[in-house]
Structure 1
Amino acid sequence: MNLRTTLPKSLTPYFQAELEDYAIAYKAGDLVKAWTHLERAHIIGQRYPFAHTFVHWKMLQFGFRTKSGKEVIGQIPRLLVGGVKSFVGRVPVGNPGGANVPPMKSFPIEKDIQAIFVKAGIETA
């Protein structure tokens, strides 16, 4: 059972950078780039209940702001159970977290994100 609830200090700067880059891209009107940063933050934080839930909250807000009914409806169950799945260690590794992908499907982790985990001393498998 995974009892880690908060993001390790070694991952926090990378997680925060993705959220900051999301906000910058969103404010600039680059919604594709903004969404990509949310997905990256999701992959980095998905094993940790608070970070995982927070990213789904941001994705839900994004869905409302962009008037995407599909994203809003898709994020509600993810928001409700994502953190629980993290707490018990049952997350699909590499899943980007959007409503456009199956919620329990694993995906390959991009090389630059794998490098982040290596630098932070975190295993990805």
Structure 2
Amino acid sequence: MQRSFSQRIAPYVEAELANATWARSIGNIQQEFFYLERAHVIGQESTYWHVKVHVLMLLWASRNNSLKEILGQVFRIVGAATKTAFGLVPQGNTGGANVSPFKKMPISPELATLIEKAKSSV
């Protein structure tokens, strides 16, 4: 049985989420969000991971009292839940409220390799 993209990309997204948890544990909120952004780029073509990362970004925003980020993440959660399955995601977008939710962004070669590996796995 062939595994889905969500299943194949999971280890890479989970690694970034583990890094975010580590950064949070040492009190480095900027680094925590950086890893959430990386998880977003890697997992944004999976509805499950796309929504999950935005929820984690919303929790980050709430812990850090960032109203702009809270509002941005609520909007993005709705979009991720309703648009991802149709392929309506701006590739490379880092997912934070500091960038337009519609803006395509370059994907680093490192992350692009992980995404392609997950897409091409059989």
TM-score of the two chains, using structure 2 as the length reference: 0.90
User: 5+ residue gaps in structure 2?
Assistant: none
- CA distance in structure 2 between the aligned counterparts of 1:36 and 1:7, rounded to whole angstroms: 23
User: What does residue 75 of structure 1 align with?
Assistant: 73
Structure 2 distance, partners of 1:18, 1:30, is 15
Question: Which residue pairs with 1:86 in the alignment?
Answer: 84
**Deviations 1:14-63 (Å, cap 9, x if unpaired)?**
11000111011011111111101100110111111111000000000000
Q: Which of 113, 117, 120 is 1:119 aligned to?
A: 117
Maintained 8 Å contact 2:9/2:115: yes
Measure, in 1, the Cα distance between the counterparts of 2:53 and 2:119. 22
Q: Which residue of 1 aligns with 2:45?
A: 47
The structure with the greater share of residues assigned to helix is 2
Separation in structure 1 between the aligned mates of residue 86 and residue 119 of structure 2, nearest angstrom: 21
The gaps in structure 1 that reach 5 residues or longer are 1-5
Number of residue pairs matched? 117
Q: Secondary structure at the match of 1:112?
A: helix
Calculate percent identity across the aligned residue pairs.
38
Please name the residue that 1:100 is paired with.
98
Write the distance in 1 (CA, Å) between the matches of 2:81 and 2:34: 21
- Alpha-carbon contact 2:5-2:119 (below 8 Å) kept: no
In 2: Cα distance, 1:7 partner to 1:59 partner: 22
C-alpha RMSD of the superposition: 1.3
Q: State the TM-score, normalized to the length of structure 1.
A: 0.88
Supply the distance in 2 between the matched residues of 1:54 and 1:7 (Cα, whole angstroms). Answer: 15
How many Å apart are 1:80 and its aligned residue? 1.3
Structure 2: distance between partners of 1:85 and 1:93? 13
1-structure distance, mates of 2:9, 2:80: 19
Structure 2 match to 1:64:
62
| Cα drift, residue 7 of structure 1 | 4.3
- AA aligned to 2:90 is P
